[in-house]
Structure 1
Amino acid sequence: MSMQGAGFENRAAAWVQQRGWQVLLRNFRCKVGEIDIIALDGECLVFIEVRSRGNPRFAGAAASVDRRKQRRLLGAAACFLRAEPACRHRPCRFDVIAFEPRQSAADREPLWIRSAFTA
């Protein structure tokens, strides 16, 4: 992960915590993929993908979470739930926190897409 990518993940984690969510884990990795942030929003387990784009000529950060990436996130979430039986009973959702080029300044709010996709 690039230093800039880590910075955006740090900003996303802080943004999540400011909303009262509990960050359980960051950068969960397994053989099928990675999840940037796993958090609790009340009773809901939230798998969060953090995306950023620095160049406005490319597709937006949120749009970069394509079907292939979604499948990898779903697989990684399944790995996490197998590894953490205590979390299996919780409702789950997949959110995207995106930092678009115009939102690159440190004081800008990210674009939050709640329930960006479903299993």
Structure 2
Amino acid sequence: MGDNAGRRDRRGQIGRLGEDVAADYVGRLGWRILARNWRTRYGELDLIAADGTTLVVVEVKTRASRTFADPAAAVTPQKLRTMRLVTRQWLAEQGEFWPVIRFDIVAIQLDIADPEDLERATLSHHTGIVE
């Protein structure tokens, strides 16, 4: 149990670091962050942001290993379906109409030796991901 708990804690820490990097990045793009880690029983949306009149739902994938060449490769068609479902739930609770809704992936590769050194992190932004 202890080893699994430690791995989960590290994975959570890595995920939070990546989400912070991604949130800073979209903020620098001039996007307005509407929600972070929005959850339902069906899933979670990492970042929901407004790029002008476009709603952008951002899946953040963070790695501190070389499991995938690009962490975005971990986003499966099932994950994209879940993102659409949960986005519909989020939209149902909002009073605003969005003429354009886009799904993006922000992939963060942290330094393997020192994941907390965010200066060494690399980021790739995949825009308009579809199934």
Number of the residue aligned with 2:7: none
Aligned CA-pair RMSD: 2.1
Number of the residue aligned with 1:36: 46
Task: Give TM-score, length-normalised by structure 1.
Answer: 0.87
Q: Which runs of 5+ in 2 are unaligned?
A: 1-10
Number of the residue aligned with 1:82: 92
SS of the residue 1:51 aligns to:
strand
Letter in 1 for 2:105: V
Letter in 2 for 1:9: E
**Aligned counterpart in structure 2 of residue 106 of structure 1, from 99, 115, 118:** 118
Q: Which runs of 5+ in 1 are unaligned?
A: none
Q: Which has the larger radius of gyration?
A: 2
Letter in 2 for 1:93: R
**Aligned counterpart in structure 2 of residue 14 of structure 1, from 19, 24, 40:** 24
Aligned pair count reads 117
- 8 Å CA contact retained: 1:49, 1:97: yes
1:64 has 2:58 as partner: no
- The structure 1 segments of at least 4 consecutive aligned residues displaced by more than 3 Å after TM superposition are 57-60, 101-105
Question: Percent of aligned pairs with the same residue?
Answer: 30
